[in-house]
Structure 1
């Protein structure tokens, strides 16, 4: 006999004997006769080429080879169980993988815990998470993503199923050493316009107006919030940021909050609605639908 003929059932008997402590206890646990259990493990030992149990004592004990091979047997049994579970879920329509795009405007607080629960609930589903800067439906439209988490700056239209799942609070900040930090508040547009503004622009289609929230004649444009944060922190200029991206710098005192007198014609800074979205004509499978519901738990559908 060769090891090619070893079966999962033989490995299960081997593991059960080791765990139950005797052939008789293993037979009871497996609801089989003791002679059948004995025969099965003897056959496995013959195929393996080494004894797995020392039978010289009252109770069988694992040989050195048995102790070495036991974790491998357990792994094979576990892998087979995972294989069967994955195959069953695929037959039920479960996705093999799921692709998500998440905007930098979305705080990790809105999705990290959900993804932890997702991994426990759907361990066989691979997750591909990509980052976008602002609002962009391109990945959904081109079939490169199944779900998106992003701010809805502008109405997305009826091609998408959307639900509110939170907000992104925008604040205006500068490095702690920036001259604007020393000016009495509230800061008028005239005062702020004298200092370099760091602005975010989108290279991802036309999802953000190029002059959106421009308050200074002299401004630099970047297409990434991390680059913007670093320039502001370095004292190059001031700018608006999602609060979660600058919370650490505010805590350690390297950044400070500025208080504009008005912002884009309003007396307050915006709180951007964050939505979970998917294409209406490409609804996600069971795992994607679970994730969509969990992202937007308690959120209202958007018509």
Structure 2
């Protein structure tokens, strides 16, 4: 099996489309079809069903897909290992980051990195932390700088770099701002605006209430903290935001609860051979790492 045919197979499987796979690989649709036909001849099995313009994996295709990803990952690791022998920091680095981390934490690190290593072709992808996490697990992303999962995958090394202190906030005119010290039980009587239900930050916040036997009334949700701040600031509900985002547009609520924390940091797959560029980026991140409190 040649790697080009495997790349085409994975692209068609991921997009469920020969034309979209061609766009992804910068190939014509006939070229993609030819590579799939070559792979089907090599494997002796039909890999895709094409019914009413709908493309789906056959049983053989479903069996081949994880193995195809592993083969390409091994080839890439071998290439990277050989390239690393030169000691030069160059080539491509696929780096994923969440919007909040990418906007508020990463810029000075990226600036220093690009100035120090101009030979690196940085493929920077802005993704939700959860998407970036899955990309690292699947081997599609070399390094991710995101909100770390409270329940990390054993295949992934999760290294905290920063600690976000999360504060309960609301619009300055919200009824809760006129109260004295607030227990968590008072907050559940008012609607909240929180990150989406499948996000790590939502899990961290909701978990704090669940441990107290409380359920939150979530009126609205979004994965963008800047949008959450706007919604809380105009009175759509109370929310939870990092201290770094709090200004005069929002009021901090005096909640009698230990600060809720979330860890921000980098992810790498434990079995992946990192490129010299990936190692150099980790060195930059380690330089910014906040020492744990004794």
Note the C-alpha offset of 1:268: 0.5
Q: Following the alignment from structure 2 to structure 1, what is the Cα–Cα distance between the partners of residues 186 and 254? A: 12
Note the C-alpha offset of 1:243: 2.0
Where do 5+ consecutive residues of structure 1 fail to align?
Answer: 1-87, 262-266
User: Which residue of 168, 171, 185 maps to 1:175?
Assistant: 171
1:270 matched to 2:260? The reply is yes
**Cα deviation code 1:101-156 (max 9, x no counterpart):** 22345375642222111111211212222233444511212333211112333242
Q: Following the alignment from structure 2 to structure 1, what is the Cα–Cα distance between the partners of residues 195 and 189? A: 19
Q: Following the alignment from structure 2 to structure 1, what is the Cα–Cα distance between the partners of residues 164 and 172? A: 23
Q: Following the alignment from structure 1 to structure 2, what is the Cα–Cα distance between the partners of residues 195 and 242? A: 20
1:230 matched to 2:230? The reply is yes
Note the C-alpha offset of 1:278: 0.9
Where do 5+ consecutive residues of structure 2 fail to align?
Answer: 1-82, 210-214
Note the C-alpha offset of 1:207: 8.8
1:113 matched to 2:108? The reply is yes
**Cα deviation code 1:181-228 (max 9, x no counterpart):** 1212x1123432222111212446999479545553353233332322
Higher helix share: 2
Aligned partners of 1:162 and 1:278 also within 8 Å: yes
Greater C-alpha radius of gyration: 1
Aligned partners of 2:166 and 2:261 also within 8 Å: yes
Q: Following the alignment from structure 2 to structure 1, what is the Cα–Cα distance between the partners of residues 114 and 218? A: 47
Q: Following the alignment from structure 1 to structure 2, what is the Cα–Cα distance between the partners of residues 100 and 172? A: 31
Match in the other structure for 1:143: 139
Provide closer, same or farther for how the CA distance between residues 201 and 141 of structure 1 changes in structure 2, counting only shifts above 3 A. same
Q: Give the alignment's TM-score, normalised by structure 1.
A: 0.57
Question: Over aligned residues, Cα RMSD in angstroms?
Answer: 3.3
Give the SS at the match of 2:252.
strand
Give the SS at the match of 1:123.
coil
1:125 matched to 2:125? The reply is no
Provide closer, same or farther for how the CA distance between residues 155 and 211 of structure 1 changes in structure 2, counting only shifts above 3 A. closer
1:161 matched to 2:157? The reply is yes
Aligned partners of 1:198 and 1:220 also within 8 Å: yes
Q: Following the alignment from structure 1 to structure 2, what is the Cα–Cα distance between the partners of residues 207 and 175? A: 20
Note the C-alpha offset of 1:95: 4.5
Aligned partners of 1:90 and 1:96 also within 8 Å: no
Match in the other structure for 1:96: 91
Provide closer, same or farther for how the CA distance between residues 206 and 118 of structure 1 changes in structure 2, counting only shifts above 3 A. closer
Aligned partners of 1:172 and 1:239 also within 8 Å: yes
Q: Following the alignment from structure 2 to structure 1, what is the Cα–Cα distance between the partners of residues 230 and 272? A: 38
Work out the number of aligned pairs and report it: 203
